[in-house]
Structure 1
C-alpha cells in the first residue's frame, strides 16, 4: 500500500477544513491543519461570514464550484440541522438597466445548468414578502441558492476528516516554512516543526503574510465590508434566533439589491444586511484588533463599525424593505474579506518552492468546490474542473506589484455589483505596457482595450473614412446597444482591407517564449502532441495536454536552431508550466538542461496579412517570399528594411502573410518601414475587433475561451494537431482511452439566421426546446455577412440543424454550419 504524502494545511477555516475532508476522502490521511486561532471559531473571515451562496456567475467554473459547495454542505448535518439551507436566492431590479442585466444573468444560470427563472414584481413579493413591490421591476430567482452555516460546516468537516486520520491544531501560529533543495519540508510554529511534503496555505486574508515567509507574492488585499443585524421585525415574529447552524434560522430567500450594492439574509426575527455601498477600506495587519479570547463578537477580522459609511445604504434598505422603518441596527461591524486584482480566487504552486501551494481569496460560496479541485490537483495531477481562471500564474509581473494590487483590488470592491460589459476595460491603471509602435497607433486614433497590462488597439478612427467606400454588402448592420458597446463599424472596413488588400496588426501582446538547450527538443516533444523533430525553420501548431488529455494550451512552435525554439504561447500559465517542466528535466538529467525565457517584453510582432501582403513585404527583404522560398508554416531569420527580423508564415486571420518579429528597440523602425512601403498599396492598420471576426470565420480556436482542460482535442476539433503514432507525450494514454469512444459533445460553428442578431458568449443554446450547450465566442462575420458563433453542443447534432440562443431573454435562431466558413481549401492562405 502506497503511503500518502504528508500535507500541512495552513488555515482551518472553510477552505482548509474542506480541503482536509477532500484529501482524506481520497485516501491521503497524513493531513495536519494548523490555525493561529481556536477551532472551529478561528477568528478569520469564515467566523463572521454571512454564508450566502448565490451560484450564478459569468464564470462556468465558479458557478460549478458554488453548486458543489451547496450540495456538499447540504449533506453535512448534526441533530437534523444541515450546514446548508436552500432557501433560494432572489436578485431584484429597481432600474431598467438592472432588469436587463438580470436577463443576462438568467442566461448564465441556464447555460451552466442551474434552474433559474425571471419573475415579475408580484412574484418577487410573494417570494420575499418584506420587499416593496412598487419599487421592483422584476427579479431573478434560483431555488437552489441558499445559506451556508460556515462554522457548523467547519466543525462537521473537521470531525469527518479527523475520523479518517487528519489532525487539526488550533492556537498554532505559523512562523516559518522549512525547505531543502528547493522543496518544502515542513512548517514551523515557534519551536515545533511539522514535517510536510506538501504545504497548502488556505489562510484567507492572512495569505500574503504566509507568502512572505517564502518570498512569494500573494496578490490579495484585506478589505473591510460592512454587515449589520437589525432589531427584531414584527413581520418575522416567531422565527427562532438561536438554532444550530447560522443558516438555519431563515426561511426567506437570500436577497440582493445590486442597484444599491446591498444584500440581505434572515436571522430568525431579524435581518442581516451586507453593504458594498461604501468607500474601499483596506486594512493593514497592524490595524486588526488584538483579541485575547475569540468569540462571535470579538475576533481579529471584526473591526469597529464606521457608522457614517452606512447612512445612505440604510435609507436604501428602508426603501426596498419598508419594515425597516420600524427597526434599528442592533449589531454592526466591518468584517474583513479578501479581494484580488481581478476579483478571482488564487490557486497555484509557488514558482520558487516546490510543494508549496496556495488556495486563497476563496469565499464560503465557492469553498467546497475550490477545495475539491485542489485535492484533485494534488492527488491526480489535474482537476476535473478547469482552473485557469484561478491559477496564480495568470498574473503578469506588473500585476503583482503592491501599488497595482492595492488599486485594482479596491476597484473590484467598488464594482462588485456593477453591470459590466465583457469587453469593458479598467480605467486605471493604464498604459502599463505598450508596444514600440504605440505612438503611431495613437496618431491613427486607436481605441485601446487592455489585457495583461497591454494596450491593444481594437480599431482605428483613422479608418472611419473607409466606410464611405465600403461595398454595400460589407456595410455592417446596426447592432443592439449592448453588443455595440466597445465595438465600431470601422472593424468592417478593417476586415475588408485584410480580405481584399493588406493590413498591419499589432501582435506584440501575445506571449513569446524561447526554449533552448540540449534538452529543449526532448522537453517539447514530451509536453506537446505534435512532431517537433523537424528541420530548422519549421513551424508547428500543437497542443499541450494534461494527464487526463484535457487541452492545457495550444502553442505555435518554431524551430530556430537545433537547440532553440520560439514558442507563441497563451500567457503566464504556459510560461509557468513549461518552466517547471524544464527545471524538473534539468534537475533529473543535467546533461539535458533546458532554459526557458520570456522574451515578450524585449520583442514585438507585426502581422502583415492580405492578398497583397507579398507586394508589401517582398521589396523590403532579401528573403524569397514566394511559395517555394518560404512555405506556409515555415520561418526564416532575415532582415526587413535592414532591420533584423524573424519571419513566420502564419496567419490567424486566414489570409496570406507573415508574423514579423524583431527586438523592441527596432519595433518603431519596423512599423514605419512597413507603413511607408504599404502607403502606395493602401495599407490599413487593423485592430482586435476585425481580427476576432476573421479568426472565427476561419474556425480558429482561442484557448481559454473556446476550449480548456475540460475538453480533449477531438471534441475541440483539433485532432489534426495530434501527431499519429507519436509516443511519450503527456496525456497520450488518456487521449487513446477517450478517443476509443466518440465524443458526446463537440465545439460547433453556428451562423445566425437573421443575419443581424449578435451574441457575445456564455449564452445558453437550445436544441429541440431543451438546453443543449453554451456559446464560447462570437463576432459579426464581415466576409460571410452574418454573425458567427462557436458553441459546445451535442456531437449528434447534424449540420444545418436549427438551434436557438437565449440572448437577454430573447431566442435567436441559428444554424449548425460546416466549418471553416471562409476558404476551406486553404487556397488564400497558401497563395
Structure 2
C-alpha cells in the first residue's frame, strides 16, 4: 500500500507542471504537509509533449508579471534542485504579414513597454538579420523580445517536484484520487487507490491540477471547471546541418510557430478550426493521438514557403497530442465558487509551461493569505458560468478557441461558436430591429444596430470599424434625445432576511440604512480597500435589497457575499433571469416614459437615486432612476412574462419622441466621456477605492465594514496614485486599453480602458498616475501624451469628468 499520510493540509490532484508548481510554491510559503497525487507518472498527460515556449508578454499587466516570474524561476531551479531545466533566453520574434497584424503587434509592443518588458519593433530587414532562414516575402514588420526563452517542459516540472520534496512535500505517482468526503461546502477528505490498496487523506484544502481531466475531477469535487481537450499538432525535422540556436519565431498569420530544438526544427500550429478530442482513455499515459496529416498539411505547405530549409529537411516526428482549452482562452485559477476549500489551477490553453511558475506562485500566496495577492480577474475560476461546463457547449466552443491564440485579436472580436445559449426577454425584438449581437458570459447582447441596407455583422479592424458611425449616432441620440437599450444581462441578486440591513452595511462600503426605494451606488471592498465588486443596491423593503452587478461578475459577487454572510440571517438569491431591464436614457427620456405610464417621474416624486413601482403600457414595472451614460434616464425592471409587451409599448410610443435603439458599445463610449469606471479594467481588487476616485461612495463613519481600516489609513497617509481621465487632442487615433501614459516625457503608467468620445470629439481613456506627495493641481500641471502604436499623441488630462462635470444633466 502507498506510503501516504492520513492527514494533510492540502491534497493536490495532478502531477503536471502546474500541480508540481503549486506544491513547490506552497512549500515555499511554509506549508510542510503537502501531498500531491498523480494517477500515472509526473508529466504524463500534457506536460511531457509541450513545446516549451516561455514568453514574457501577456494581455494584462498581472498576467505579464506571472509570465516574467516563471522565466526568472526557471532560470534558478537548476541551481536549487540539480535538475536541468533546459531554460535559455534565446529571444522571440513575431512577424506580421498584414498591416492589421502589424498594428496589433506594434500596439502589443507599446503595451510591453508599459509593463516593463524589454521589446523592440523591427523592420522586415531587421527581421531578416535576426532570422536569416526566414523568407520575408509579405513580412511588413516584426516585434523582438530579447529575453523570451524556451525550456525542457518535463524537466521543469520534475525540478519543481524535487524542490517541493526537498521542503517536505509528499509527491506520489500511480495513486489515483477516486472520491471525496464532503461536509457541506467543504471537502474533508480525499479518497485514493493504487495497485495495492486504498485509503483516505483527511485535508483542509484540495487543489484540482488535473489538466485535461480537470472537468471530471471538478465534478468529483463538486465544482465547475469548463475545459475541453483538443488535438494539437507539431512536427520535428531530422537534424539540419549547421543549424544554430535561433529565437522562437511566431508567424500568427500562417497559424505557425517555430523553435530550434537541438539542431532540429519544431513547427507547431494553432489552426483556425481545431479538433476537440475525448473521452480520454483510462490508461492514457505518455500517449499521442492518431496522425492526421491532411489536417496539418495546409500549415506545412505555408511553412515550407516561409522557411525554405524545411523543404530539404526530413520529418523525424509528426506529433499529435491533447491540450486542454477553456471557453475564453484564459486559464482557470483560484477558489471555486461552489466550495469553500476547493482550488483550481487547470486549463492552460497551450501556455502551461510559461504560465505554471507564476500561476503556482499566485495560487500559493492566495491560499496562504486567504485573499488574492493581486488582481487575477482574467483567470479567476469564478468568471465561469455554470452552463459553460456543459459538454456540448465545450465541444462546440473548443473548435474555435485553439485557433484564437493566433487569430487577429481585433478590438470587440466576438466568438462565433456555441452562441445563443442565454437570451434576454427582448432578444427577438432586438434582432427584428437590426441588432448586431455580441456575447458576454453566454448572454447574447445587442452591441450596435445596423441601418437599413447595412449587413448586420462585424467587419473587424484596428482602425474605425464598420459600426463606428452607427455607435456615434446612438451616442449622440442619447446625448440629445432619447435612446433605449437592453440591460437584462446585468446580474440581479436579491438579499433578504431580518439581518439584511446589517449584512449590507458590513459587506458594502455605502450606507444601506436608507428609505425603501433608495438606490445606493457602492463597492464591496477587501481588507486592503481594494474593490471586489462595483454595484448598485436598491432597497426594496425593510428586509430586502436588490444588488445589481456587471453580467460577467454576477457569480463572483454573489459568492463574495455568501462567503461573508457569517451569522447574519439573510438569504442570497440570483434572480437575474426573472426580470428584463430596458434603459431609457437621454434628455427626452422623461417625455417618453410619461407617454406610456400614468406615474410621476418628476424630481419631486422620483429624484435621482430612487426607484418606484409603475404602471407601463398595460403592465407593471419598477423604474430605477440611475445612469451609466451620464444623462437623465431610468432603468425599467419588468417581469420576464411582461417584458415583450413593455418593449413594444415603449418602442411604439418612441416613434413620436425620436427614440433610437442602442447597444452596449454606445454605453461604453458614453460612460468613458463621463469618467465612469469599468470593473475589471479601471477598478479591480488591487485598486484602492480612494485612489480610484470613489471615496464619495464609502461612508467612512460607519462603525464596521470590510476594508474600513484601510480606507481610514489611506485617508490619513494620502494617495499614491490617482485615476485620471484623458482625451487625445488629435481626433484620428483610437484607444482601446493598455496604451502607455507619458507624463512630461516619462512613462508613468498605462490606460486601464479606452473608447471614443463621440460628443467630445476624440479618443478617451482612464488610467492611474503616480501622485505621492502631490496635490491634485500638481497632477494636472504636467504635459501628457499617450503612446499609440509607438507614436506619442498629446492628451488633455482631467480629474473631473470632462463631460458634464457637475452631473447637472443627470439630475435635471
TM-score bracket, shorter-length normalisation: over 0.9
Partner of 2:366: 377
Change (3 A) 1:464 1:260: closer
Partner of 2:131: 128
Residue 537 (1) aligns with residue 517 (2): yes
Match of 1:281 among 275, 282, 307: 275
Match of 2:247 among 248, 253, 269: 253
Change (3 A) 1:721 1:736: same
Residue 445 (1) aligns with residue 434 (2): yes
Partner of 1:264: 258
Partner of 1:69: 70
User: For residues 193-246 of structure 1, what are the alpha-carbon distances to aligned partners after superposition, in whole Å with 9 as ceiling and x for unaligned?
Assistant: 12211000111111122123234332111112112221111122xx6xxxxxxx
Partner of 1:179: 182
**Greater shift after overlay, 79-88 or 803-812?**
79-88
- Which whole-Å CA distance do the structure 1 matches of 2:367 and 2:554 have between them? 19
CA contact (8 A) 1:606 1:661 kept: yes
Length, aligned pairs only: 788
Partner of 1:747: 723
CA contact (8 A) 1:529 1:544 kept: yes
CA contact (8 A) 1:57 1:108 kept: no
Deviation at 1:192, TM superposition (A): 1.4
Deviation at 1:701, TM superposition (A): 0.8
Partner of 2:227: 220
- Which whole-Å CA distance do the structure 2 matches of 1:640 and 1:84 have between them? 67
Partner of 1:247: none
User: For residues 681-714 of structure 1, what are the alpha-carbon distances to aligned partners after superposition, in whole Å with 9 as ceiling and x for unaligned?
Assistant: 2222222232222211211111012121121112
User: For residues 599-641 of structure 1, what are the alpha-carbon distances to aligned partners after superposition, in whole Å with 9 as ceiling and x for unaligned?
Assistant: 2212111111222222222354343322121121111223223
CA contact (8 A) 2:8 2:202 kept: no
- Which whole-Å CA distance do the structure 2 matches of 1:437 and 1:612 have between them? 22
Residue 503 (1) aligns with residue 479 (2): no
Change (3 A) 1:582 1:308: closer
Match of 1:665 among 625, 631, 641: 641
Residue 704 (1) aligns with residue 680 (2): yes
Deviation at 1:172, TM superposition (A): 0.8
**Greater shift after overlay, 7-16 or 213-222?**
213-222
CA contact (8 A) 1:200 1:359 kept: yes
Partner of 2:611: 635
Partner of 2:163: 160
- Which whole-Å CA distance do the structure 2 matches of 1:337 and 1:518 have between them? 50
**Greater shift after overlay, 567-576 or 117-126?**
567-576
User: For residues 141-171 of structure 1, what are the alpha-carbon distances to aligned partners after superposition, in whole Å with 9 as ceiling and x for unaligned?
Assistant: 1111111333222232223222322111111
CA contact (8 A) 2:250 2:256 kept: yes
Residue 815 (1) aligns with residue 796 (2): yes
**Greater shift after overlay, 224-233 or 497-506?**
497-506
Change (3 A) 1:486 1:361: farther
Partner of 2:339: 353
Deviation at 1:557, TM superposition (A): 0.1
Change (3 A) 1:619 1:542: same
Change (3 A) 1:735 1:373: farther
Deviation at 1:544, TM superposition (A): 0.9
Long gaps (5+) in structure 1: 240-250, 292-298, 466-478
CA contact (8 A) 1:230 1:327 kept: yes
- Which whole-Å CA distance do the structure 1 matches of 2:492 and 2:752 have between them? 25
CA contact (8 A) 2:507 2:564 kept: no
Partner of 1:243: none
With the length of structure 2 as denominator, give the TM-score of the two structures: 0.92
Change (3 A) 1:278 1:661: closer
- Which whole-Å CA distance do the structure 2 matches of 1:196 and 1:347 have between them? 20
Match of 2:693 among 714, 717, 726: 717
- Which whole-Å CA distance do the structure 2 matches of 1:103 and 1:463 have between them? 36
- Which whole-Å CA distance do the structure 2 matches of 1:698 and 1:74 have between them? 46
- Which whole-Å CA distance do the structure 2 matches of 1:542 and 1:71 have between them? 40
Change (3 A) 1:809 1:579: closer
3-state DSSP of counterpart to 2:681:
coil
3-state DSSP of counterpart to 1:365:
helix
User: For residues 561-595 of structure 1, what are the alpha-carbon distances to aligned partners after superposition, in whole Å with 9 as ceiling and x for unaligned?
Assistant: 0111111112354434434643663xx53xx4322
- Which whole-Å CA distance do the structure 1 matches of 2:118 and 2:563 have between them? 46
3-state DSSP of counterpart to 2:462:
helix
Partner of 1:470: none
Partner of 2:4: none
- Which whole-Å CA distance do the structure 2 matches of 1:493 and 1:333 have between them? 52
**Greater shift after overlay, 736-745 or 336-345?**
736-745
- Which whole-Å CA distance do the structure 1 matches of 2:142 and 2:432 have between them? 46
Equivalent positions of 1:355-434 (< 5 A) are 355-362=341-348, 363-434=352-423
Residue 341 (1) aligns with residue 327 (2): yes
Partner of 2:49: 48
- Which whole-Å CA distance do the structure 1 matches of 2:86 and 2:188 have between them? 35
CA contact (8 A) 2:332 2:346 kept: yes
3-state DSSP of counterpart to 1:175:
strand
CA contact (8 A) 2:85 2:159 kept: no
- Which whole-Å CA distance do the structure 2 matches of 1:599 and 1:684 have between them? 28
Match of 2:529 among 539, 549, 563: 549
- Which whole-Å CA distance do the structure 2 matches of 1:686 and 1:310 have between them? 43
- Which whole-Å CA distance do the structure 1 matches of 2:560 and 2:761 have between them? 45
